[in-house]
Chains A and B, each alone.
Chain A
Amino acid sequence: AQKVTQAQTEISVVEKEDVTLDCVYETRDTTYYLFWYKQPPSGELVFLIRRNSFDEQNEISGRYSWNFQKSTSSFNFTITASQVVDSAVYFCALISGGSYIPTFGRGTSLIVHP
């Protein structure tokens, strides 16, 4: 069985603050894939990043960075110098066990105040 836990239901920050969204996953498989999606108020799901289980290298893309740690089964997402446009629900997702169907976490609602 696979499971994704996003313990933070809602985070509220002021613009320019850094914020980290937590994601903890569970799987018995050694091969798996982790994802982050952004869902802005308009509703669409926007793909942000995909990570496979054999690549623990952290990644940075502009103000976004991801910290993948297999030792703690975590794949956390940090937004540096947050902006109002970052306000959205962010979902962490997992694929494992030979399935191609992502299992989503419950999502973290990020509110960035001006």
Chain B
Amino acid sequence: AAGVIQSPRHLIKEKRETATLKCYPIPRHDTVYWYQQGPGQDPQFLISFYEKMQSDKGSIPDRFSAQQFSDYHSELNMSSLELGDSALYFCASSLSGGAAGELFFGEGSRLTVL
């Protein structure tokens, strides 16, 4: 079965550069979530979208922005990168009306900021 696809899987950037991560949810899933997991840390919720509108906002820095497009894929844009942004970024998707909390995670995009 199709899963959540994230790209790129690995990304290396320098400080102050920008980066864009992409997420393609499971077909027919209408909700996308972004999480950030620092080294040795638990996943921290950043932001979510339902039907292309922002639905919940967590600890997303102002330097980051995200959107969900008409085909339901989502992009996380990160600007003025800092060393502390180095992390594994997860995207998850779910179907509204489905079982609460039944999120399907992608394999993550590992961002390294040098």
Q: Interface residues of A, CB < 8 Å — how many?
A: 23
Which of chain B's residues 7-57 have a Cβ closer than 8 Å to chain A?
Answer: 31, 33, 41-45, 48, 56
Does A93 lie within 8 Å of B101, measured CB to CB? yes
For residue B96, which residue of chain A has the nearest CB? A100
B45 CB contacts on chain A under 8 angstroms: 101-103
A113 interface residue per 8 A CB criterion: no
B90 interface residue per 8 A CB criterion: yes
Partner of B41, one of A47, A103, A106: A106
A42-B107, A43-B107, A43-B108 known; A100 vs B43 contact (CB < 8 Å)? no
Does A101 lie within 8 Å of B41, measured CB to CB? no
How far, in Å, is A53 (CB) from chain B's closest CB? 11
How far, in Å, is B1 (CB) from chain A's closest CB? 13
Does B107 lie within 8 Å of A47, measured CB to CB? no
Bound: A105/B31 CA distance, A? 23
Does A100 lie within 8 Å of B108, measured CB to CB? no
Does A44 lie within 8 Å of B99, measured CB to CB? no
- Chain B interface extent, by class: 20 to 34
A102 CB contacts on chain B under 8 angstroms: 45, 101, 103
Interface 1/0 per residue, A40-71 and B, CB below 8 Å: 00111111001010000000000000000000
How far, in Å, is A49 (CB) from chain B's closest CB? 11
Does B101 lie within 8 Å of A44, measured CB to CB? no
Partner of B43, one of A47, A50, A104: A104
A33-B100, A35-B101, A45-B105 known; A105 vs B42 contact (CB < 8 Å)? yes
A43-B108, A45-B90, A47-B104 known; A104 vs B33 contact (CB < 8 Å)? no
Bound: A43/B104 CA distance, A? 14
Partner of A50, one of B48, B56, B58, B101: B101
Bound: A42/B108 CA distance, A? 10
- Chain B contact residues, CB within 8 Å of chain A: 31, 33, 41-45, 48, 56, 58, 88, 90, 92, 94, 99-108, 110
What are 9 A-B contacts with C-beta separation under 8 Å?
A33-B100, A43-B107, A44-B105, A44-B106, A50-B101, A50-B102, A91-B43, A100-B31, A104-B42
